[in-house]
Structure 1
C-alpha cells in the first residue's frame, strides 16, 4: 500500500465511503463533473482497496480505452467533435487517476497519460488552444493560450489553480473568460503540474514575472493589459502579485486561498486532520497534495515551510496593491475566510465577495455551477477595460 505517515487523528474515508461519495459526485460535482456514471460504476466495482497505484491503474484503463477509440478514428479522419470528446473522456479518466496529486508512481504515470491525451484533444478545440513553451532557468515553462473569436488584441487573464486543479482542468473558466472578450492564459502554480519549481522555492515568484515579461512580446494579444486569478492554494500567488507586481497587472483575484491565517498551526492542524471535507479521500490527502507542492511530508515540515510565506510576515499587506478581489465561502475548511478580511483591513481599499453558506471557493449548495466564475470574470473585465 502507498501510505504516507498521517498526522494523529487524521480522518480518512473508508473504501465504501469513497465509492459512495464518488458516485454522489460523478457527472455532477467538481472535480468529477465530466466523468460518465457508467465509467465511475465500472471503476468503483473494480476497486478492491484504496492503494494509490490501484486507483490510478483502474482509471487509466478507462482512459486508455477512450484514447484507443480516438486514435482509430483519427486514422480515418473522423469527426472533429467526436475526436475531441473521446480524447477528453480519456483525459478526464486519467486525470481522476492522478487525483488529487501524483504522490505515487502509478498516479504520476496517470498524470503523464492525461497530458498526452489532453494534447491530442486540444488539436480539436474551438477556439484553438496554443501550447506555449518558454525557457526558464535551464528548464521550461508551459502555458495554454486561447483567444476569443473576432476580438483583435484582447486583454489577458492569466489564471491557475491549486494543488489538485491544474491548467488542463480550467477549460470551463477559460470559456467564461473568452465569452467576455478576453484572452485566457492558464498555467500551473509552483509545485503543481508542469511547473518546474516548488511552491516555496525562491524562484517561484520569478515564474510569474517571466510570464509577465513574455506576454507583451506577442502581437496577437494585449500583453500589457493583464489581470491574474489564482484559485485555492494557488490564490496566494495572485494576492502576492497584487503587491509585488502592482504596476504590471490591472487586477488580481484571490479565490479561496491563504495569505496568513491559513498558514498558521491553529488552522492547518485541524485542516489536515478533521477538515478537508471536500477531499474525496479525507483530510490526510489534503496534506499529501499540499506537501507534494511544498516538497515536504509531515505537518511539522509543512508548518515550517509555509511560515515565511505569510504576506503579513513579509510586510506586504500594508503596502499599496493593484485592485484585488477576495472570494470565498464562510464555511471553507481548507482556506480561512479571515484571510480575506485581513486583506480588507490593511493597505488600500479592496473588494470582496463572501458567500455566507459557501464552502471551499465559495461553492454553495443549489448555486448554479458557473455563478462564481461569471461574477469574477465580470470584475476582471471591469479592471481590464478601464
Structure 2
C-alpha cells in the first residue's frame, strides 16, 4: 500500500509501550488526572496508588491475574464507603462511590473480556461481573434511572446465544402519547455497557432514549463472533424489542458505533438502511485495519497494550496468526461487498493520526455504495476526541429532529 496518512508514525514504537511504568508516566497518569478515556468517570486518587503498586512490583502484563488483583483493594474500600453512605441515608454519595468503584473495575479487567470467559476461571470476567453490579447500584438513583434488561434473541441462528443483555435509559416524559427518538449505542472492544455514563447523560438531556448493546465477540454479546452476519441478526432482534415499546419513536432511531462498534455502525447503515434514520461510525475500521500490513505494526501504536490477540478472539479466531492471515477477506466491508449497497445517512468521525484503525478505513467508504458524510481531525488520534463529540451531537440533533429533511441516496 502507498504510505499511510499517519506518515512515519506508522513505523514508530510509541513511548508508552514496554512497561506499566512507561504507560502510566507517559500516557495514563495524564488521562487519569483529567478523567478521560479510559478513566472517564473515575477519580485520580483511586488510581495513583494502584499504578504505584504495579510499578513497584514490576507487574507489566495487563492480561495477568496479578495486574487485575492490584485493583481489588481499592474497589473493596470504595464499596464499603458506599454501603456506609447508604446506611446513613446519603444515596447520592453512595452512587458516586459505586461509580468510582465501577471505573476501577473497568481498568482492572482491561483491555478485553471474552464472551466465552467465566468468572470461575477468569479473573477479568469476575471483575467485569462485579463492575456491572456496582455500576447498576450507582445508576439506580439517577433520574431517570438506567435499567438492565435481558431480551430474547428472536433472530438467533447457528452458534448465537438465546438472550441479549442490554441497558436502557428513557426520558421520564416519554410515553405512548409522546414517543421519543432513540440512540442505539454499539459498544467497543474494551468499553462495554457500564462504560457510557456521560454519553447516556448527554442523550437523555436531549430528550432521547438510549439502548446500549455490546458487539459480537465482546463481553456478554450472544452473537457468534466468527459469523460476519451474526451482527445483522443481533440488530434485528434488538429492533424487534424496541418496536414493542410504545414510548420509542421507531421513525427516529439512530446508531452510534464507538471504536470497534464503528465497524458495525457502517455495516448497519447498509444492511439496515431502512430501519435507521442515520448511523454515526466513531473511530471505525472497515477494511485496511484487518490487512496484514496494518496488523504488522498496530501493536506498536497508541493502544495501551497489544491488541491483535484480543481482536483475533473477538472475531472468532483461535490464533492471532490465523486472524492476521484470513480476517480481511472474511470481515472487510469492502471485500465482502457489503458497502456496495445503498446506505442510510452515515457520518464517520475520527482523528487523522489514528493508530488503532487507519483513517484510510473511513476514506475508502466514500468510494462504495451511497453518499457518506465525514469529519476528520488533523493531528488527532483514535476517535478524534474531544473535537469529534460536538460534531456527533449536532449531527444527531439534525437526524433525529421531527422536522428533518428527507435525504435519499
Within 2, Cα distance between the matches of 1:326 and 1:233? 13
Within 2, Cα distance between the matches of 1:65 and 1:132? 29
What is aligned with 1:290? 311
Structure 1 residue 168 and structure 2 residue 170: aligned? no
Structure 1's 186 and 319: CA in aligned 2 closer, same or farther, altered over 3 A? same
Structure 1's 341 and 171: CA in aligned 2 closer, same or farther, altered over 3 A? same
Deviation, 1:360, is 0.3
Tell me if structure 2 keeps the 8 A contact 1:26–1:34.
Answer: no
SS in 2 for 1:156: strand
Within 1, Cα distance between the matches of 2:339 and 2:250? 27
What is aligned with 1:254? 281
SS in 2 for 1:219: coil
**Higher deviation after alignment, 297-306 or 371-380:** 297-306
Structure 1 residue 242 and structure 2 residue 269: aligned? yes
Within 2, Cα distance between the matches of 1:295 and 1:200? 4
Within 2, Cα distance between the matches of 1:182 and 1:59? 35
Tell me if structure 1 keeps the 8 A contact 2:226–2:317.
Answer: no
What is aligned with 1:19? 24
What is aligned with 2:357? 335
From 377, 381, 391, the equivalent of 1:375 is: 391
Within 2, Cα distance between the matches of 1:350 and 1:30? 27
From 30, 40, 44, the equivalent of 1:37 is: 44
What is aligned with 1:60? 72
Cα distance per residue 1:279-312 (max 9 Å; x no partner): 223xx2x123323312335432213234311111
Deviation, 1:149, is 4.2
Structure 1 residue 280 and structure 2 residue 304: aligned? yes
Tell me if structure 1 keeps the 8 A contact 2:216–2:230.
Answer: no
Within 1, Cα distance between the matches of 2:198 and 2:142? 13
Structure 1's 223 and 68: CA in aligned 2 closer, same or farther, altered over 3 A? farther
Within 2, Cα distance between the matches of 1:155 and 1:35? 29
SS in 2 for 1:27: helix
SS in 1 for 2:223: coil
Superposition pairs for residues 206-221 of structure 1, below 5 Å? 206-221=233-248
Deviation, 1:102, is 3.4
What is aligned with 2:329? 307
SS in 1 for 2:71: helix
Cα distance per residue 1:292-342 (max 9 Å; x no partner): 312335432213234311111221222211011111111001111112211
* TM-score between both structures, scaled by the size of structure 2: 0.83
Cα distance per residue 1:3-46 (max 9 Å; x no partner): xxxxxx99842232133233222131311133322222211222
Coordinate RMSD, CA, aligned? 2.1
What is aligned with 1:153? 179
What is aligned with 1:197? 223
SS in 2 for 1:39: helix
What is aligned with 2:82? 70
Structure 1 residue 94 and structure 2 residue 94: aligned? no
What is aligned with 1:179? 205
Superposition pairs for residues 91-170 of structure 1, below 5 Å? 91-102=102-113, 105-136=122-153, 137=156, 139-151=162-174, 152-170=178-196
Deviation, 1:158, is 0.1
Cα distance per residue 1:226-281 (max 9 Å; x no partner): 11111111111111111111111111111111111222112222113x22x1x223
Within 2, Cα distance between the matches of 1:199 and 1:232? 17
What is aligned with 1:6? none
Within 2, Cα distance between the matches of 1:124 and 1:226? 26
Between Structure 1 and Structure 2, how many residues are aligned? 365
* TM-score between both structures, scaled by the size of structure 1: 0.88
Tell me if structure 2 keeps the 8 A contact 1:269–1:299.
Answer: no
Tell me if structure 1 keeps the 8 A contact 2:329–2:336.
Answer: no
**Higher deviation after alignment, 146-155 or 126-135:** 146-155
Structure 1 residue 50 and structure 2 residue 60: aligned? yes
Tell me if structure 2 keeps the 8 A contact 1:217–1:223.
Answer: no
